Amino acid sequence: MTRIVYPKPAALVMAIMADSLTRLEQAKISLMKRFSRIELESDPYPFIYSSYYEKEMGKGLIKQFLSFAEPIEMDELREIKIATNRLEEDMASKQEGRLTRTVNIDPGYLSLAQLVLASTKNYSHRIYLGGGIFAEVTLIYRHGGFQPLDWTYPDYRTELARQFFVRVRERLLSRIRSEV
């Protein structure tokens, strides 16, 4: 009989997108209050990879990757996505009688083997976690770096993203080794 082995904690990571650096900073402050301090962050970059968010959030969007100091258990991802959705609602503005997002937050976790993102949208490669939340493996760690998959979003394929997640992985590996 096989014994159940629980995985080591993972690094909590998020991608946040907003219409301005000010809103990006506001979102980061709220996220730190809810989760933990930000340990690593990428440079903000213009989100030019899709027009998907423009109708709701406008043009000229800025995106940034974050990693938090406190590791998480992988099975916390569902609740984290629900919490970030609430934060998006809290930061939304009312336009023409409806709430419009001013910030988009995509949480996930990074283990030594992969980057997993949470989503509210189902698709063929996503696994249902419950509560309306799905998860997908977005990048896998192989041959000394993170490799994209067929469905990996274009900005997660960039060197900026992949190098950022390598840095997060190095911190996680160091933390795991120090606990042994």
Closest CA to 16 of 27, 26, 4: 27
pLDDT of residue 180: 67
Residue 97 falls inside a structural domain: yes
Angle (CA) 173-72-45 rounded to 5° is 75
Residue 16 falls inside a structural domain: yes
Spacing of C-alpha 127 from chain mean position: 16
Residue 64 falls inside a structural domain: yes
Q: Splitting the chain (180 residues) into consecutive groups of 10 residues, what average pLDDT does each group show?
A: 92 97 96 97 96 91 98 97 96 80 97 98 96 98 97 97 98 90
Residue 56 falls inside a structural domain: yes
Axis-axis angle for helices 77-91, 21-34 (nearest 10): 140
Using DSSP's 3-state secondary structure scheme, residue 88 falls into helix
Domain total in the chain: 1
Which structural domain range is residue 43 located in?
11-178
Report the alpha-carbon distance of residue 62 to residue 3 in Å, rounded.
46
Residue 3 falls inside a structural domain: no
Residue 6 falls inside a structural domain: no
Residue 85 falls inside a structural domain: yes
Tokens 């301090």 -> residue: 37
Residue 15 falls inside a structural domain: yes
pLDDT of residue 99: 78
